[in-house]
Amino acid sequence: MSVNDSVVPAEPAEFWLFGYGSLIWKPPPHFDRRIPGWVTGYVRRFWQVIMHHRGTPEAPGRVVTLIDRSYWAQLTDHHDSAPDKVWGVAYRILADRVDEVKEYLDIREINGYSIHYTPFHPAAGVDSLVLPRAGPIQALVYIGTPENEQFTGPQDPQKLAQHIYHSHGPSGPNREYLWGLENSLDALSTESGDEHVTDLSNRVRAIAAQQEKENSPADKSRAAYSLAGLGTESSQYHNFRRAGSVDEQEETEKTS
């Protein structure tokens, strides 16, 4: 027996994937652990164009990417603060399924994202039995860097909210992605909120409420009357009644 015959095969390399966008609430296939936690050194922003899922090539939507914090600090962003920790979840992918999952993610998230690695910090209180070791875990993360064509850079928040409100794709309305992210971040920890996401969510809710109001039957008819320069619906009702009486009068005169 040679020395090499007695060597115990090494554990297959662990593969961890960090999700900070839709991966938080839409897990990849073939994972056996899902751990909430955070990474540092980045800022999460809705600065990545998406031409599928939540938009179309003709009318692309917006999704999140991570921006290197030191690069972001040089930009003029209307949302001028960002939490030190970018919260999300890390998934441990079964070793024999790693290639399959990478392929799945490349298909799912094409469009400008590239692969990076970053230390992931499990949230305080995560059972140590589910962790590979104490301390941060090296995790793969997909990032749309400023060099990629789909990167938009800083956006006016109200225009961005309008854009998200109006965008739709084969996976549904862009606003569901935004609100899905807001809800799933809230569920991770008491400190996992992200002002950029919350502010956009509030703005889109306000736009949706306004649209709903404008599309309600009562509001539509009010708008139609005022567009026609006919005053309010109730005054028009009275005008109509008055016109009705004149018609009736003319009718009476003709027949008499």
Q: Could you identify the residue written with the tokens 């015959």? A: 5
Please identify which residue in 16, 23, 165, 197 interacts with ligand BEZ, judged by CB under 6 A: 23
Strand 114-122, strand 42-50: pairing: unpaired
String of contacts with ligand BEZ for each residue 93-122, x by CB under 6 A:
------------x---x---x---------
Spell out the long-range contacts of 243-246 with Cβ–Cβ below 8 A and sequence spacing 24 or more: none
In the window 122-151, what residues touch ligand BEZ (CB under 6 A)?
142
Measured from the CB atom, the residue of 18 and 165 that comes closer to ligand BEZ is 18
Measured from the CB atom, the residue of 182 and 236 that comes closer to ligand BEZ is 182
For the bound state, the minimum distance from the C-beta of residue 170 to ligand BEZ, rounded and expressed in Å, comes to 17
Q: Is 109 a catalytic residue?
A: yes
Spatial neighbors of 201 by CB under 8 A, at least 6 apart, are 178, 179, 182
Q: Could you identify the residue written with the tokens 């690069």? A: 71
Please identify which residue in 16, 20, 38, 179 interacts with ligand BEZ, judged by CB under 6 A: 20
Q: Which residues are catalytic?
A: 109
Query: For binding to ligand BEZ (CB under 6 A), which residues are involved?
Result: 19-23, 105, 109, 113, 142
